Amino acid sequence: MHFIIGTIGMVVGALTVVYSEKIYNAFGPIPWFEKYLGTEGGSRLGYKIIGLLAFFIFMLVFLNLHQSFILWILSPIIRPMQGTIVN
C-alpha cells in the first residue's frame, strides 16, 4: 500500500513544482510567503518548496523509510530519555 500512496504523493509533489504558476493563478498569493520569501514571486517559490517537501516525504513513504527518518530526526530527544525510563 505504501507504494501506491508514495507514488501518488510523489506525482502530486512533482506536479506542484512544475505547475506552480498555474497554482498561483488559481489560489493567488500567500501573504506569509510574499513577506518572507521575496517581494515578487515569493508565493511561487513557496508553492515549489511545498511541492519539493511533499515529493521528499512521499518518496520516504514509497521506500518505506519514513519511520526510520522520523526516528533519526528525533534521536537527539529520544536518546537521553531512554536512560530515564524505569521498568
Q: Tens of pLDDT along 28-62?
A: 888 888 888 876 778 888 999 999 999 999 999 99
* Contact between residue 17 and residue 52 where contact means Cβ atoms under 8 Å apart: yes
pLDDT at 54: 95
Closest alpha carbon to 34 in 43, 26, 25: 43
Question: Which pLDDT band, with edges at 50, 70 and 90, does 77 fall under?
Answer: confident
Distance CA 23, CA 47 (A): 8
Question: Which pLDDT band, with edges at 50, 70 and 90, does 85 fall under?
Answer: low
Please state the pTM of the whole predicted model. Answer: 0.78
What value does the mean pLDDT of the chain take? 87
